[in-house]
Structure 1
Amino acid sequence: MDSLLQGPRGRRLCLELAMELDQDIRIAVFHLGYNLDPGAGRSRRMLTMDPLGEAPPPLPEPTMDELAGLITSLDLNGITNQLVHYALQRAVDTARYWQEPEGEDFLAATEEITVPLARVAESLAYSPTTQWWVQKAQPGQWAIDWRSADDPTPLPRDPQHTLAEWGRKERAQEIRAAKERPKNPHANFSGEWWSIPHGLIHTVARIPEGLSLVEDSLGWEEATVIPVAGTGRILEITTEEDWINLCRAFPLEVTASRRHDWFRTTGRHGRWVIPDWEQAATEWDAVHLTVTGYLSLAGRALPVSEDTSTVIAGWDLGTTFWLNDVVRETEEPRQHWHGPHNEDQWVLVSGA
């Protein structure tokens, strides 16, 4: 689990878990994270009031050394499956590739905090609840349709057409962005920031975990979960070499269309590529991002060549994208799940 601390989502997971275990850590992170947040005092404000509605005198703020000491002395025996899942969900919920990371992400990336967080990462390595994080793509998985069972729909087919349309759109967008957008990465422009193709069947191995571990969620409260089975040539993305080699074999230039968003999220200025998924389908039937792969890689600027990098963005952890028509719905019943508003728990309604 050493790789957890290499990635922004893995570091955020460890920090969130530490906050769940100790309220003093939560308070310290609140203050220190605010001070490091790019939006502090503007898009993010700290308001304090006493019972009379007056602003109290400011309290002494915690220091980095004090937070590091709290994490170092943290009792890790209180780690439970529920706490790990909530921390993992928070790490996913706070991922953003179209603007600067939150102050808590900057905080977790400092050496003063990363070093003591190694204890948390090590404890996760030996926890039974995390063993599925290294699991490869399974033959039987679940596709999620964010609609109710009253609105049934078949799984999409013809991935070749979907990928051809995706490739056409990406290339046209890149040409348009090169003409219309400035090369200055600081310019206030935004657009496509994903590195994945849309419209394909994508599946997860675990339900209900897959319902709550979704980047940039739209707050869905209904989901139809479809049992599927698929096999073929499946590429596992676990290490940065796995993703980099895919980008080197099938590069698609996206510098103009991703430049501004990915500069904000990574701080890197230069050329960018993602996999040309239409071409990748000639060698691979599916690509699976393991949980550990997501936690260590997502949101990082990964070097493809001396002047070119890539980012895994918008790809939910543990998800398999099917590039060819090799996956089918099975005879098991579909399931209908409901996620009550403002609650973290998904409830099985029917189909078990």
Structure 2
Amino acid sequence: MDDVDDVDRRTAEPTLAERADLLLGAPLGRDFLGTFVDFALDHTLFAELGLGDVPGTVMFVVEDDGPGSEPRSRTVRRRKRRDWRDVPAGEVRAVLRDAVGRGEWRGLGELSESELMDQLSGVTEGFGFGGGDTALWGLTALAAEELRPVAAALVASPAASWWWDPVDRSDQRQLIWADTDDNGGGGGLAGVEEAMRRDMARERSANEKGRRRRPRPGERNLGATWWSAPDFATGTWTTGPRGGLPALELGHFIDTFAPFEESTATVGSLTVGERARVAEIRRPHDWLDLVSRFPRDVSGTHDGEWRDWGDVDGPWYLPDWEAVAEHYDGVHVTIGGYLSSCGLAQPVHDGCTMLAGWVPGATVWLRDVATEYRRLGVWRGAPQECGEWEDVLAGWEPYAPE
């Protein structure tokens, strides 16, 4: 147990100043901060820096010819004068400084927990799949210091104070979807280890097949597996109840691991034993340390979006969950840990690792360490089509108190 204790001491909760640094150093962290400054920050930067239109978007202008006439719309295209990689850092800083100076972000400290998390879900859901995302990450990295006042305000917000907290063992919420066979349609963590080992065998086989057709260095191979959470997570991970939601997982942070049509989920509450060993991911290095200690090559399955997002060719590594299970019963990625790690290509061994496609605040359990399970109610709806959190809450039906 000494090695586990040593790692746990290294993953102590970061200070407020450290939290701001972590957010400024990560693509998702800067993306999130940017939404408070300018909700269309990518369009603002592209326009003012002469980068043309944001790839994959079109701008329309509505023209009104006067009373009695029908409004007409026309497409407007901006002329591209240069590539984003050719923009001097000073120019990016000036544009971002002006945007921050307008002060639209100054009220973020007054936002409620649900308002902050609702805004975060909108950012994480499409992370990496916008046409201008990699350019936006590169540009904001050049001018990250301009966002520091926003980062400081966010980490000091009472509604974000829990984002680096360890897993709450007293009340973890689990979703069991009606169309899944995980846990036999029941609840709790029975069968977790069996599911983990079954899926690891399948993922290793898929990786070996994929390695035989890996792209050459510099090539793009979009459409690969892009999430870091293991496939068995859909039946073995839990989140806390936050922002009025019975389970944070319902917040629609990623577009995977939930049905793509109308469905029903039973929401249950788990109590986890105090002796359960949980690896806390609070910063990028925590994830890097986990992968470094328990590496598993996933280049055959994950060599796609990651090489585009990280601008590196791999090889790629993720945790060997079977090996992790010899030391830990679960891995908890805190909200802050996800914000400061998602999309970062971190060097490990002869390649890199990346944390992406994980519900912020979720814990993946590798062993049955639950001491109690209670069914709380049912959620009904189309999980991939929910917009505002009010839409999510409308589908919640708690059981009547006994």
- Offset of residue 263 of structure 1: 0.5
Identity fraction in percent: 25
2:376 counterpart letter in structure 1:
R
- Offset of residue 277 of structure 1: 0.3
Q: Does 1:266 align with 2:310?
A: yes
Partners of 2:268 and 2:344 in 1: CA distance: 32
Residues 71, 338 of structure 1: alpha-carbon distance in 2 compared, 3 angstrom cutoff? farther
2:241 counterpart letter in structure 1:
R
| Partner of residue 344, structure 1 | 389
2:100 counterpart letter in structure 1:
I
| Partner of residue 173, structure 2 | 142
Aligned counterparts, 1:313-328, within 5 A:
313-327=356-370
| Partner of residue 111, structure 1 | 142
Q: Is the 8 A contact 2:225 2:301 kept in 1?
A: yes
| Partner of residue 23, structure 1 | none
Aligned counterparts, 1:86-235, within 5 A:
86-96=118-128, 102=133, 105-106=136-137, 109-112=140-143, 114-139=144-169, 140-147=171-178, 153-155=185-187, 157-200=190-233, 201-207=236-242, 208=245, 209-216=248-255, 222-231=264-273, 232-235=276-279
- Offset of residue 235 of structure 1: 0.7
**How many residue pairs align between the two structures?**
338
**Runs of 5+ in structure 2 lacking a partner?**
1-18, 65-70, 81-90
Q: Is the 8 A contact 2:52 2:77 kept in 1?
A: no
| Partner of residue 22, structure 1 | none
| Partner of residue 301, structure 1 | 345
Residues 28, 298 of structure 1: alpha-carbon distance in 2 compared, 3 angstrom cutoff? closer
RMSD between aligned alpha carbons? 3.4
TM-score under structure 1 normalisation?
0.83
Q: Does 1:280 align with 2:321?
A: no
Q: For 1:132, what is the secondary structure of its paired residue? A: coil
Partners of 1:314 and 1:176 in 2: CA distance: 23
Residues 6, 147 of structure 1: alpha-carbon distance in 2 compared, 3 angstrom cutoff? farther
Q: Is the 8 A contact 1:50 1:56 kept in 2?
A: no
**Runs of 5+ in structure 1 lacking a partner?**
20-25
Residues 183, 257 of structure 1: alpha-carbon distance in 2 compared, 3 angstrom cutoff? farther
- Offset of residue 29 of structure 1: 4.2
- Offset of residue 180 of structure 1: 2.6
2:29 counterpart letter in structure 1:
G
Residues 170-191 of structure 1: CA deviation (Å, up to 9, x unaligned): 2212221122333244244532
| Partner of residue 56, structure 2 | 43
TM-score under structure 2 normalisation?
0.73
Q: Is the 8 A contact 2:239 2:361 kept in 1?
A: yes
- Offset of residue 199 of structure 1: 2.2
Partners of 1:334 and 1:281 in 2: CA distance: 29
Q: For 1:162, what is the secondary structure of its paired residue? A: helix
Partners of 1:47 and 1:57 in 2: CA distance: 6
